[in-house]
Structure 1
């Protein structure tokens, strides 16, 4: 596993150098994905808080994107590797040994950003471990090795919720992006239905991977937004880095025909029920960004996108008055030191900790450790 991380890290560093040159060339060339204007985030102080762990289980994991459902906030993690029994402290685990895993898991957040409460635990003893959150379906050819990469859960209507996810068949590649319905079962968010004939609506070879970059329930409108990378059939290094956008009214999230796709301002903007079939700069909203999370900042009066620079370890914030963009240049608020040479990625926002927006707590993955910082803004 460590060898794979080193290979990925080298690939990211190479891509960062090559693609940074392209970004410089595109600025001022009418490219809507490139930064414009001035970022208002100038004065700030960043404090490192520590590493986030669960108080009722023990594992190593990544991601942890936050989302709200019925007044509570939850964190959705990616690959979740169980620690050996009877450990309760993951720092004492021998990470060279395998003790079991699931491809995603769900936790309840707390008022302490360093502590989460794991949900859907099994019967392991003396320490219970996480069960899979997005279930695989054997009738679709899936098994327990399939990944279901997701970002933030979101509320839809009548107390239910949803989640965008990307079906990863490992050696067979990415299958497609889908959405699942979430309902409270015994008070715990639970996936009760996956949509699509094969569990996804947007096939990866021909449509963007909606939701794999970010998903966001906009508190200022009726809509849920999802950002996704280019179709897997696009192999050109530059073109593969474009990010595309869709939205749907939260109450209509389970109806595919109600989805709206951003075709780009020059191509008519939002189009209902017309999936994007043209890919390139004029149809995209961002370029060369990592997975991240969006928040509305009452302090700044703008949307803020939290992400990490690919291959850099830099925690970055960019702003916009509209979720379609354009976006300001990034401001770096912190640089992570990679743990054991591993990858740093996935910017996660915790806006529920300060509704005023004067501070923003951010977590990110550092080689399967979740690290947390707190940024205090001033004008």
Structure 2
């Protein structure tokens, strides 16, 4: 009788733990409790159709006309050409042409840069170079603006270039402004025009160069941005407002979209409130497992794959060492479970993150080249599908 009572008590304790994990709690001081709801739209669903024949490491990507250490490199097409957008770009020492032969120390840097992609996944052409001799280095792709309180310390996160109009070679880039003191500032969009072969930021929108206040709204564009070739829309994913900082709550990702023709008009954006509520013109203000679109992917990239007839999300989780792919028929999800593609070894114990897809190298979709950041090197692998 005593043993049966203890079993019942253990069962009750377990049940209460589960209910507390699922129920929306009321505390305003703990942001985690605001995220847990009765519905979790970030859970995987269905079967991942991807099957692998071979995954091969190709090497490390570098520029043929400059020399820097860099991260991210999200790809985007504008007027028939593909470009990579980088975040921190650390110049190599004067005269150094191989990043692996760089000398110790700091030799200068910019907070963002842009390169032209080539048919060789290991070679890019750096654009917007300075006059350094004998090896030029990249200048900033997104310049800081002192009138907005920005300086050379201001960083600009973001993702892919999203084509707006091919005829005028115009695109948008979504940016996350990081002032470091005290924190992330806000997210917004900039107009990009290809001038003399170089994507150039010609205008940033918002009274201080951004739209969405990072303290109250998601960091739209800091995780994924994608010009959907199957619709008129650009889709933009971002992490939660600044107050959600933990491993769990900070891993949720929220979604907004806009027609490409209206990308520079904030009033035309639609916000994803989850499968139960759908798209709304009202800015998302409720951050729960119901309104989140993804969890735990970190930065990544989405492409449409003709071979599997679905969207593929490439990512490495939250600063992990394993490359994953998941699929969906709709950009709103639900997404299938992840398939492990490839695991790497962090260089010198550094961070591994930001999965990047290069779909232009095989339009059939039967293979996909993927790159990612490994301690400021861009590691490249090729995946053949069964």
Secondary structure of the corresponding residue to residue 35 of structure 1: coil
1:71 paired residue among 76, 80, 83:
80
Q: Give the match's secondary structure for 1:80.
A: strand
Aligned residues, how many?
350
User: Gapped runs of 5+ residues in structure 1?
Assistant: 1-21
Q: Of residues 137, 143, 161 in structure 2, which corresponds to 1:135?
A: 143
Cα distance in structure 2, aligned partners of 1:44 and 1:147 = 40
What RMSD over aligned residues (CA atoms) do the two structures have, in Å? 1.3
Which of 109, 112, 121 does residue 120 from structure 2 map onto?
A: 112
Q: Distance in 2 between matches of 1:237 and 1:124?
A: 42
Residues 112-191 of structure 1 aligned to structure 2 (within 5 Å)? 112-157=120-165, 158-191=168-201
For 1:207-245, what per-residue CA distance to the aligned partner results, in whole angstroms no more than 9, with x for missing partners? 000011100000100000000000012345422221100
Larger Rg over CA atoms: 2
> What SS class does the counterpart of residue 181 from structure 2 fall into?
helix
| Partner in structure 2 of residue 233 of structure 1 | 243
1:71-90 paired onto structure 2 within 5 Å: 71-90=80-99
- Give per-residue Cα distances to partners, 1:269-310, cap 9 Å, x unaligned: 0112x1101111110111111100000000000100000022
- State the distance in 1 between where 2:248 and 2:87 align: 27
8 Å CA contact 1:239, 1:280 repeated in 2: no
* Mapped partners of 1:237, 1:50: distance in 2: 31
Q: TM-score w.r.t. structure 1 length?
A: 0.90
Q: Which residue of structure 1 lines up, in the alignment, with residue 348 of structure 2?
A: 340
Partner of 1:282, secondary structure, is coil
Give yes or no for contact 2:129–2:136 (8 Å, CA) kept in 1. yes
Asked whether the equivalents of residues 254 and 272 of structure 2 are also in contact (C-alpha less than 8 Å), the reply is yes
> TM-score, structure 2 length as denominator?
0.89
Counterpart check, 1:48 vs 2:54: no
Q: Which of 369, 376, 379 is residue 384 of structure 2 equivalent to?
A: 376
Cα shift at 1:340: 0.5
Deviates more, 1:204-213 or 1:34-43: 34-43
Instruction: Kindly state the Cα deviation for residue 53 of structure 1 after the two structures are TM-superposed.
Output: 0.2
Q: Contact (CA 8 Å) 2:298, 2:319: kept in 1 or not? A: no
Partner Cα distance (1:30, 1:259) in 2: 25
Distance 1:323 1:311, change over 3 A: same
Structure 1 Cα separation of the partners of residues 197 and 61 of structure 2: 24
Structure 1 residues 83-141: Cα deviation after superposition (integer angstroms, max 9, x where no partner): 001111111002x4000000010000000000000000000011100000011000000
* Pair 1:37 & 2:46 matched: yes
Compared CA separation, residues 189 and 33, structure 1 to 2 (3 A): same
- Give 1:206's match in structure 2, choosing from 210, 216, 241: 216
CA spacing shift, 1:300–1:191, aligned 2, 3 Å: same
Moved more, 131-140 or 229-238: 229-238
